[in-house]
Structure 1
Amino acid sequence: MIEKAKLTDLPEIVAVIESARTFLKAQGIDQWQKSAYPALVDIRADIAHDVAYVLKVDGEIAAYGAVITGFDPAYDLIQGAWRNDNHDYVTVHRLAVSAQFRGQALGQRFLASVFDAFSAYQDFRVDTHPDNHIMQHILTKLGFEKCGVVMFEGARWAFQKVTGD
């Protein structure tokens, strides 16, 4: 299960982000390569806003993500269409898995934990780089549907999962 991140988790979270950044680069994906995003300041802000979550394996942080509820301005303009006009949804940003734990389906487990922890919501949204086929596979496997393109650090494919239909 995911749990809230604490300021003391910052070094481990930054290591997870850097590990994911290196993995993306090795895959030839320019996501998180052109700027420092996500940077320490972003993670600190996530913790300060109470939206930072970690997934631990044997006491070590293996995955990180920001889980935000409510309207996300980055998702307001979409080339395509969301499945509904709901403005009360859950968005997952900055999802990263450490290379140390890769291959254990932790991205999938993190998102499944989001569904459990935020079960009061029925609308979940995520975006990913068009070349990030691993994330697209995870999203599709979990029942997300591609809805279009949003602009978030460049053009990103927007996915949505509506539960309870």
Structure 2
Amino acid sequence: MTKYVRQAAAADLPAMLAIIEQGREALAADHIPQWQGTYPLASDLQADIDANRAWLLLVDGQIAGTAALLTTPDPNYHQIYQGNWAGEPDASYTSIHRIAIASGYHGQHLADTYFSNLMTLSYDAGFRQIRVDTHALNQRMQHIITKAGFDYRGIVYMANDATDQRNAYQIML
């Protein structure tokens, strides 16, 4: 089985949207409110493609996952509660967002490969820390994140919305 990542192109948007929808359905089945509104929109994914921050996981040439690897500060991470970020407060970092594996590939531990590749891309770009967040009820993603070596750092809120709380994680490279 050949596994690698590549940047997404405009032609990949339909496959990315399909994977996001499958992720939305899996979260709903687990009674997790994350992604149950309109986010992420096609325009969010298109913006990721346009900014060269959309990365696809390919397995034997087929798109098996989608993620955004941001290299600019995430405003949602500016303030962290019940914890703190490790390292220098103003250090640059990448952040992983909108990550999902296609439903036909679940159970193959592909997220391990995906996270490893995103870490390598971050390191090669000169970053020495990565941040990621997930809903407090999303036990599956929390397991994947900690298995990849991330440490729990505290709580962040999406768009300063007190009802949209996330567990925040960080890894130092």
What is the TM-score normalised by the length of structure 1?
Answer: 0.94
What is the DSSP-based 3-state SS (H/G/I as helix, E as strand, rest coil) of the residue aligned with 2:33? coil
Residue 117 of structure 1 and its aligned partner are, at CA, apart by 1.7
Q: Does 1:60 align with 2:66?
A: no
Give the CA deviation at 1:87.
Answer: 3.3
What SS does the aligned partner of 2:113 have? helix
CA deviations on 1:101-160 (whole Å, 9 max, x unpaired) are 101112221110011122232101000010111111111111111111111271000000
Seen in structure 2, the aligned counterparts of structure 1 residues 99 and 15 have a Cα distance that, compared at 3 Å, is same
In structure 2, the residue corresponding to 1:19 is in which secondary structure? helix
Q: RMSD between aligned alpha carbons?
A: 1.2
CA distance, structure 2, for counterparts of residue 152 and residue 94 of structure 1:
13
Aligned counterpart, 1:108: 112
d(CA) in 2 for partners of 1:2 and 1:88?
23
Paired residues for 1:43-122 under 5 Å: 43-79=45-81, 80-84=83-87, 85-119=89-123, 120-122=126-128
Q: Alignment identity in percent?
A: 38
Tell me how far 1:93 sits from its aligned partner. 0.4
Moved more, 58-67 or 113-122: 113-122
Structure 1 residue 28 displacement after superposition: 1.1
Unmatched runs of 5 consecutive residues or more in structure 1: none
Conserved? CA contact 2:27–2:33, under 8 Å: yes
In the alignment, the residues of structure 2 paired with residue 25 and residue 63 of structure 1 have an alpha-carbon distance, to the nearest angstrom, of 19
- Listed one character per residue, the Cα deviations across residues 36-60 of structure 1 (whole Å, up to 9, x for unaligned) are 1011010011111111110011222
Does residue 1:131 correspond to 2:137, yes or no?
Answer: yes
Determine which of 14, 20, 24 is the counterpart of 1:21: 24
SS class of match (1:118): helix
- The alpha-carbon deviation at position 32 of structure 1 amounts to 0.3
Residue in structure 2 matched with residue 160 of structure 1 by the alignment? 170
1:12 to 15, 26, 51: 15
Cα deviation code 1:54-105 (max 9, x no counterpart): 0011222111000011321110011021112143101000011111110111
| Aligned length in residues | 162
Q: Residue type of the partner of 2:97?
A: H
Unaligned runs of 5+ in 2: none
Structure 1: 4+ residue segments shifted above 3 A: none
CA drift of 1:4 comes to: 0.3
